[in-house]
Structure 1
């Protein structure tokens, strides 16, 4: 999509490109390709962003935000994705950070926000439970007051990267009276506390992304409660809106689609490149049209947020369509890999048996199956859209 930038915006784009050339250098990009390097690379990258003042562009300036306009945010995200630099880990900067500066007290802001900006803490999200996924309000993890502490018992599941985390933002039940949503509180938990067990869950892509987290008599200081007791549902909805906006992943989808085009130009089938196959070309065009429409919607949301508004029901539309597009792109890439996207046996590498992108395509396709579930399933997003957009 072509946008007519002002001279100041073009100068900002040049500044971003210069920063990325230096910060996302060959050494860091090479390290990112190594197994088990994710956390180390993310921390190093986010600290470089923070040293530039760019770790949290959408935060208020008084809390360490960059004070960017929506157009500047758009420019940075597209330039970042174009060079293959990763987005920030969302749990601290895009999710709990905004909750803390919006609803936390001064002591909590002073304690946590600088550490989030500099990636000194690694956060995970304690929302879903074995019996409370899409119906999150039915959660049962209980926090009982005992003097200056809450004693927490229960379990969370599908907890992304909890194996790396030293902090969790967590929804707990502090009351069983009234509607289920009315008895939920939002609390910050030190993951090194006694009584916490993290059990790995290996997903169909063969990776350890997810975990089950068990709480047994875990004592958490009352000072870690965000806002008021039993008002956590309000804070949770605010966080989910930020999460769903981030999940849309427009800039990264643009880069991934460009990569598919490049691969399709080199992949020959039936005597011609796949990029020349009319059916394959039509699939690419359909995705590009959807992606452009989604990009315009994202820009409208960014413009609204720049005026002090939080992400509204549009976040559900962004999440819904954004994750569908991500899955479509991964499916295209897997189709290009063909037979070489199947499971490689006996430890042989893809370089030995065929396409060097085959294994990556298979893993990406498998992982993308979860995209329309996490952050609120498609069915939930459609219900939200029906109610608050269409008035049904």
Structure 2
């Protein structure tokens, strides 16, 4: 197995690292100040617009899409180290490159399953970064870790569909530039449990759509996702041509969308852990406690060594998963996708926690990025399927390999 990055990946990685050093890291405190001054926690800062323009000028735009008609044409394996770098500044870098969830998954969904008219109307402006989108799947009244529980109704009425239901954790919906919702609901409650659901496009300004509130994550707005919202859909009517794919295909489309989304999160989590470890090492070398640097304290060295081991393990598993997705497809890499979804958030959470401990009070304050990094890592043990669901599914898959007694 060749662990070296190819020439194109190395070139893009160097270019992206320079962009982070020269533009993104210096913009982090500016972004925080501008959002605070705006008085709207979900407002988009002027410095973010400047970062987007700079990223496009440097050829760092839509790197996540493997289809060269829409993006950079990179494989998952090529994109992995780039997404990892963006994870070092997860509140700014992904959106600056137009590589932030939920738009990434929504663009992939439209590229693969959308009609020509849907791609022209919604995919093009998303690719250009002119608008943002939301993904509306999770519901407050049911256990949405089982997607077949979803109760929102999508009913055919002549040339229209009528949507009724309530969603929450609808990623992207609080962004003031969000113009389109991708909504999952039931079109046929009597069909097979995996054929009951469909996906439909709902413009934000459609009558009957009410964004009730923004959902915070441990008190954070959870950028760059554009804010998660609780949304009511009351007798919302959209044209029948807004259906994505066929009736009953919603569950399959959701699974196809979530596979790449899961690995993208894991790629960024490795970068989040790397930044936390870097900050811990810098702190340990400069901070004196009980007459000597923290770096000379045995427990701190244990944290640092264990962090390096855990990061490397997770990175290798993520890279293997990316390679499998490129070579045998998402379905063939299902076991590994579930494995990284279990392992990588837990790894990042552990590493960031140790960095917070090394910083003491500063680690949980707004003066370092560590508290925000920890909140994101902890949240990703729930998002795109909780740990327990992935563990149960992974165990079933493993058990099927050994059906007879030893």
TM value normalised by structure 1:
0.83
What's the counterpart of residue 347 of structure 1? none
What's the counterpart of residue 241 of structure 2? 223
Compared CA separation, residues 324 and 143, structure 1 to 2 (3 A): same
Deviates more, 1:165-174 or 1:233-242: 165-174
Write the deviation string for residues 327-367 of structure 1: whole angstroms up to 9, x where unpaired.
Answer: 1123123323435567xxxxxxx6xxxx944xx54454455
TM-superposed deviation, 1:368: 4.0
Which residue of 93, 110, 113 maps to 1:86?
Answer: 93
Which residue of 388, 391, 396 maps to 1:387?
Answer: 396
What's the counterpart of residue 213 of structure 1? 231
Q: Contact between 2:215 and 2:230, CA under 8 Å: does it hold in 1?
A: no
What's the counterpart of residue 196 of structure 1? 209
Write the deviation string for residues 44-78 of structure 1: whole angstroms up to 9, x where unpaired.
Answer: 54455455554333424443221235564245345
Which residue of 152, 159, 168 maps to 2:170?
Answer: 159
Trace 1:175-194 onto structure 2 (pairs within 5 A).
175-194=188-207
Compared CA separation, residues 56 and 300, structure 1 to 2 (3 A): farther
Compared CA separation, residues 308 and 18, structure 1 to 2 (3 A): farther
What's the counterpart of residue 148 of structure 1? 159
Compared CA separation, residues 202 and 75, structure 1 to 2 (3 A): closer
TM-superposed deviation, 1:210: 3.2
Compared CA separation, residues 139 and 57, structure 1 to 2 (3 A): same
What's the counterpart of residue 125 of structure 1? 135
TM-superposed deviation, 1:259: 1.6
Compared CA separation, residues 302 and 339, structure 1 to 2 (3 A): closer
Counterpart check, 1:252 vs 2:272:
yes
Which residue of 291, 303, 308 maps to 1:271?
Answer: 291
Trace 1:55-94 onto structure 2 (pairs within 5 A).
55-69=61-75, 72-80=78-86, 86-87=93-94, 88-93=99-104
Write the deviation string for residues 289-316 of structure 1: whole angstroms up to 9, x where unpaired.
Answer: 1211221122223323444723732222
Quote the RMSD (CA, aligned, Å).
Answer: 3.1
What's the counterpart of residue 329 of structure 1? 351
Deviates more, 1:222-231 or 1:246-255: 246-255
Compared CA separation, residues 188 and 272, structure 1 to 2 (3 A): farther
Deviates more, 1:370-379 or 1:206-215: 206-215
Write the deviation string for residues 22-45 of structure 1: whole angstroms up to 9, x where unpaired.
Answer: 66484x445323234763455554
**Is the partner of 2:315 in helix, strand or coil?**
helix
What's the counterpart of residue 224 of structure 2? none
Q: Contact between 1:244 and 1:375, CA under 8 Å: does it hold in 2?
A: yes
Compared CA separation, residues 195 and 62, structure 1 to 2 (3 A): same
Compared CA separation, residues 73 and 363, structure 1 to 2 (3 A): closer
Deviates more, 1:5-14 or 1:148-157: 5-14
Compared CA separation, residues 54 and 147, structure 1 to 2 (3 A): farther
How many equivalent pairs are there? Answer: 376
Deviates more, 1:196-205 or 1:275-284: 196-205
TM-superposed deviation, 1:174: 0.5
Which residue of 114, 118, 122 maps to 1:112?
Answer: 122
TM-superposed deviation, 1:197: 1.6
Q: Contact between 2:300 and 2:358, CA under 8 Å: does it hold in 1?
A: no
TM-superposed deviation, 1:213: 0.9
Compared CA separation, residues 18 and 309, structure 1 to 2 (3 A): same
TM-superposed deviation, 1:125: 1.6
TM-superposed deviation, 1:149: 1.6
Which residue of 303, 312, 329 maps to 1:292?
Answer: 312
TM value normalised by structure 2:
0.81
Q: Contact between 1:123 and 1:168, CA under 8 Å: does it hold in 2?
A: yes
Write the deviation string for residues 240-263 of structure 1: whole angstroms up to 9, x where unpaired.
Answer: 112211121222321222122212
Q: Contact between 1:31 and 1:37, CA under 8 Å: does it hold in 2?
A: no
TM-superposed deviation, 1:388: 3.0
TM-superposed deviation, 1:121: 1.9
What's the counterpart of residue 236 of structure 1? 254
Q: Contact between 2:174 and 2:214, CA under 8 Å: does it hold in 1?
A: no
Higher relative contact order (CA 8 A, sep 6+): 2
Q: Contact between 2:355 and 2:363, CA under 8 Å: does it hold in 1?
A: no
What's the counterpart of residue 181 of structure 2? 168
